[in-house]
Amino acid sequence: MHIHSMAASHAAGKGSEPDSVFAVVSRVREAKKQPDADKVVDGSIGAIHDEEGNFSILPIVNELYRQMTPDELMNYATITGSPEFLQAAIDYTFQGFQPEGTIARAVGTPGGTGAIRSMIYNYLNNGETVLIPDWYWAPYKTIAQENQRVAETYTMFDENLKFSTEDLKAKTNALLKKQDNLLVIFNTPGHNPTGYSLTLDDWADLIPFFKACALDTQKHIVIGLDMAYVDYCGDPKEARRFLGMFKDLPENLFVAIAFSMSKSFLVYGMRSGALIGFSTSQDIMNDFTNIHSFSGRGTWSNGSRGAQQLLAKITGDAALTARADKERQELGQLVIDRATIFVKEAAEAGLRILPYFGGFFITIPAKDPKSLAAKLEAEKVFLVPMSKGIRLAVCAVPKSKMPGLAGRIKKAMEA
């Protein structure tokens, strides 16, 4: 008998489907080696590229990294993360909008991904379900599966492509009949893949709803906020305003924020972020630090010391902060300019897109996303097919390649 796998039963078959984004990325790489490489439109990867198509950085970040001592850069970070880093992550995340009277704590993680993992693992029991929207960042499902949990989706937009909380509330109520722990993850503002940001009105509707869910004190309600794109949604302070609305929460309603340095400091590969929580209860916050530090120790050990030092240095110095903000703002404007061209032309061409408020991506709903993406690839336009649409990484496509793109997609759709 030929054995195909040595995996335990829970691991059988996992990973056999290639990651949808990285599969496109590798085809782009090939296309860029061909003689007509200048015709390639690379809307696949979620990293900012400049107008010449080169990988973008914040120059101040590059400068500071190169000035670091070997110890600062390469020694171990502590399991939880250095105190300066943790405070910096908290300050950077709230920027004045920490709800009154709450105690905030942070635990360092390898990127926002690590923070999401820590949420999904620690706020649910084995086999339980995390609620996410039907347009979602694929790793949520991967992380749930990897940790023997399940991701269930709710319908995010109504038939007019308007954000709707109807199915979210129905699925929440149904889940609460089955499990005492509820975890709902919101990727906002600048949702991947659509670019939608929950508005203050959306939160004014949802926060009382979750408070009502928490009236049953048997239930542990956790709202997970994945804020990876918060700095690319217009005024970064305004984009954080909604955080201040989480006040007067009952003890059994908790908010956990995934903070990521990947997009805010363009250090994707440095793998740095934090899980941040806040509560009026000292006990809950002590427990928060304990459980997530333990999880870190048992999963990845600690975060990246160099990246942690970098954040502490920047946020601890007004001049460095101002420089980083300015450099980030310039790149953010580039992304907005590109998106503005696409959104305008989509309206003119009659191409339906999901509501874009900010962030790195725009999504075009499609009946047959795979065949649409294949048709576009034949024209050297590389977008990522998802289950119900195709995703355009506006962060990566130069302005010069934007005009006409919406029309080409519309044409390919009709062909």
Ligand X SMILES: Cc1ncc(COP(=O)(O)O)c(C=O)c1O
Residues that bind ligand X (CB under 6 A): 46, 111-113, 137, 187, 192, 226, 228, 260, 262, 268, 273
Contacts of 95 (CB under 8 A, 6+ apart): 236, 237, 240
Identity at 391, one-letter amino acid code: R
Nearer to ligand X, 62 or 125 (CB): 62
Least gap, CB of 403 to ligand X (angstroms):
27
- Give long-range contacts, CB 8 A cutoff, 24+ apart: 6-10: 10/148
Nearer to ligand X, 19 or 63 (CB): 19
Nearer to ligand X, 102 or 113 (CB): 113
Q: Which two tokens stand for residue 337?
A: 């300019």
Least gap, CB of 347 to ligand X (angstroms):
26
Beta bridge partners of 157: 163
Buried b (16+ CB within 10 A) or exposed e, 377-388: beebbbbbbbee
Nearer to ligand X, 384 or 413 (CB): 384
Query: Which strands make up the sheet holding 150-154, listed edge to edge?
Result: 103-109, 273-279, 253-260, 220-226, 181-187, 129-133, 150-154
Least gap, CB of 142 to ligand X (angstroms):
12
Least gap, CB of 111 to ligand X (angstroms):
3
Least gap, CB of 276 to ligand X (angstroms):
13
SS percent in the chain: helix, strand, coil, step 5: 45, 15, 40
Nearer to ligand X, 80 or 260 (CB): 260
In three-state secondary structure terms, 133 is strand
Least gap, CB of 223 to ligand X (angstroms):
15
Least gap, CB of 264 to ligand X (angstroms):
9
Question: What DSSP character marks residue 99?
Answer: P
Least gap, CB of 357 to ligand X (angstroms):
14
Nearer to ligand X, 145 or 179 (CB): 145
Which residue has the closest beta carbon to ligand X?
A: 111
Distance CA 231, CA 237 (A): 9
Least gap, CB of 184 to ligand X (angstroms):
15
Cα diameter, the chain: 67
Nearer to ligand X, 257 or 341 (CB): 257
Least gap, CB of 268 to ligand X (angstroms):
5
Nearer to ligand X, 113 or 129 (CB): 113
Element (H, E) at 111: helix 111-122
Least gap, CB of 100 to ligand X (angstroms):
28
Nearest C-alpha neighbor of 246 from the set 228, 221, 264: 221
Nearer to ligand X, 226 or 327 (CB): 226
Nearest C-alpha neighbor of 397 from the set 33, 21, 25, 48: 48
Helices (H), 123-160: 139-146
Distance CA 119, CA 254 (A): 11
CB 267 within 8 A of CB 61: yes
User: Pairing state of beta strands 253-260 and 273-279?
Assistant: antiparallel
Query: 71 vs 63, 68, 114, 130, 312, CA distance in Å?
Result: 17, 8, 24, 40, 15
Nearer to ligand X, 108 or 112 (CB): 112
Nearer to ligand X, 153 or 280 (CB): 153
